[in-house]
Amino acid sequence: MTKLQISTATTVRYRLMMKAAVASFSPNFAKLTITSLCRFSIYSNKHLSLSVLPTKTLSPLPRYFSDGDGDRDGYEHFSDGLNDVREKILLSTEKTLNHVIPEDLYPVISDISSIILALDDGGDISTVLKSGGGVNLLERSPDGAAFVKLLGEISSRPFLALEAFQWRISQCNDGSHPIKAEEYVKAITLAGRVGKIKLAKNLFDAATSAGLKKTSTYNAMMTVYMHNEMSKQVLSVLDDLKRDDTCEPTIVTYNILLSLFGRTLLVKPMETIVSVIKQSKLCPNIKTYNTLIAGNLEKMERTYELVKDHVNAQSPPILLMSMLCAYCKSTHHPNRVNKIEEILMHIPKEAYRAWLNVMLIKLYAEEGLMEKMDGMIFEAMNRKTVIITKRTLNLIITNYFHSDDVDRLNKFIKMAELEGWKLYRSSYHCKMVMSGRHHRFREMHDVLKEMDAFNIAPCKKTYGIMYAIFTDYDRKTEADTVYGLLWKRGFQLYRSG
């Protein structure tokens, strides 16, 4: 291993230290050679060439804006800020907007964003933008910088931000105030955050049709697919980028790929990408190094031992949080809980991040550590973090189910409903089964009222669960009532025997 020299002087820059740390990973990292063609196997025997592909003219794509879902089945969005942090990691070094916003527009942007953020769901954003000076932003900042700034200010409520962008589209229908590439990039990113994959693709196609293809638009679309674990689509967009003779991959492009493979700890593809970065003469940035560290636990731990005295004092603790991400994703690590709790001791309370809270909830749920999971759930609710991710909610519910603790489950569901967490039909089905197990049939029946209160329609399985439980406990009258209700709703269920 290459010897790493760390100066104790406070003037030693973190960036230089991390470069040295990554160089010390192994002799292979220190001696990577430039290759003319790099290929590695990806899903279904498909291969990705990381060299520049021949140019191919792409046919024009239609421009349209749709608010339809069309999302990947089963996908739900983290509203807890995790995607915000990932976007900063991947996109912070890509300067998509180099224009200056007139100073007198900043108060206007602040006023409009404050009003929008105070709106209830279903509030009329178009009226706010019209009366608050939205058109003035477009006229005074024709390069789109002011409107991009506004979208950033209200991005904590991404659905409202997308409605604002829909208003933005209406302002260019007459040919005035054309939308700029940077505005499309922001909108694509927002659509990806709320799980609107089809909408993100529609916006990407609209930018293409308008002749606004840039590396930043490709990167935004790749990021959407990457967040949604759609690896093939990420690589497909990358291929399109390399076929486009007007665009070139940037370090952000390769950061996205590193993050894609780092999620599953595919070290060899990550090392191949590093070699391509060197071949392309691009300059890796601190995000590149953090992603590399998070993608290889063993080398990450050795590097951390070398630099921990310095990085533990960093504020904010970026590297420590990268390590937490790596341990949380590494389900095969035998001692990951202890490792994570050691790192948490060095992260101050004021460095709280919603996405980290959610990752810890998932970690403790996966490990079956109920008390710690409940503690993190309480902290999330206390800090007004809203979780609507189906996988996370299912992990929580599954733990309560396996522990057969119906009271704890009921308490969680009630708190989640009050805090605005998105509960799914499966959560209520679980409550039905557990209530039936404990002969709490009135509570089981009342679940239907709870579902109705939150606009969750009962399905065949809902009535099937109730029918099966009443039948198992010889409650024939209730079973017959549910059986009749099931047929009345248009569901078919045939009795056995």
CA neighbours closer than 13 Å in the CB half-sphere of residue 416:
24
Query: Distance between CA 216 and CA 412 in Å, rounded?
Result: 42
Bridge-based pairing of strands 39-42 and 46-49 is antiparallel
b/e burial code for range 119-142 (CB count within 10 A of at least 16 → b): beeeeebeebbeebbbeebbeebe
CATH superfamily of 346-488: Tetratricopeptide repeat domain (1.25.40.10)
The reported pLDDT for the residue numbered 237 is 93
**Per CATH, the architecture of 56-248 is what?**
Alpha Horseshoe (1.25)
- Residue 161: pLDDT over 70: yes
For residue 60, the one-letter residue type is P
What is the reported pLDDT for 494? 66
Tens-digit pLDDT profile for residues 312-364: 666 567 778 877 887 887 666 667 888 888 888 888 877 788 888 898 999 89
Asked whether residue 42 carries a pLDDT value surpassing 60, the answer given is no
Higher pLDDT, 177 or 251: 251
**Chain segment 437-481, per-residue pLDDT in tens:** 899 999 998 999 999 888 888 888 888 899 889 988 889 888 888
Q: How many CB atoms lie within 10 A of CB 385?
A: 23
Cβ–Cβ < 8 Å for 71, 196: yes
- In degrees, to the nearest 5, what angle opens at C-alpha 15 toward C-alphas 10 and 20? 95
pLDDT of residue 4: 35
pLDDT score of 213: 85
- The answer to whether the bond into 316 is cis (omega within 30° of 0) is yes
pLDDT for 268 equals 77
Assess whether pLDDT exceeds 90 at residue 373: yes
CA contacts within 13 A on the Cβ side of 157: 17
Residue 211's contacts (CB-CB under 8 Å, 6 or more residues apart) are none
- How confident is the model at residue 422, as a pLDDT? 84
Binned at pLDDT 50, 70 and 90, residue 78 comes out as very low
Highest mean pLDDT among 59-68, 309-318, 387-396: 387-396
Please write the tens of the pLDDT for every residue from 7-18.
333 223 333 333
pLDDT of residue 331: 65
Q: At what angle do helices 286-294 and 82-91 cross, to 10 degrees?
A: 120
Q: Is 40 helix (H, G, I), strand (E, B) or coil?
A: strand
pLDDT at 37 over 90: no
Which among 119, 159, 115 is positioned nearest to 133, based on CA atoms?
Answer: 115
Rounded to the nearest 10 degrees, the angle between the axes of helix 145-153 and helix 181-193 is 20
Average pLDDT over residues 42-69: 31
| Domains 56-248 and 346-488 are alike in CATH topology | yes
Q: How confident is residue 205, by pLDDT bands cut at 50, 70 and 90?
A: very high
Local structure of 42: helix, strand or coil: strand
Domain spans, the chain: 56-248, 346-488
Four-residue CA torsion sign, 212, 213, 219, 222: positive
Predicted confidence (pLDDT) at residue 287 exceeds the cutoff of 80: no
* pTM (whole model) above 0.85: no
Q: How confident is the model at residue 375 (pLDDT cuts 50, 70, 90)?
A: very high
| pLDDT at 158 > cutoff 70 | yes
State the pLDDT at residue 314: 62
Whole-number pLDDT of residue 299 = 66
- What's the pLDDT tens digit per position in 397-452? 989 988 888 999 999 999 999 888 888 888 999 999 999 989 999 999 899 999 98
Q: Residue 115 above 90 pLDDT?
A: no
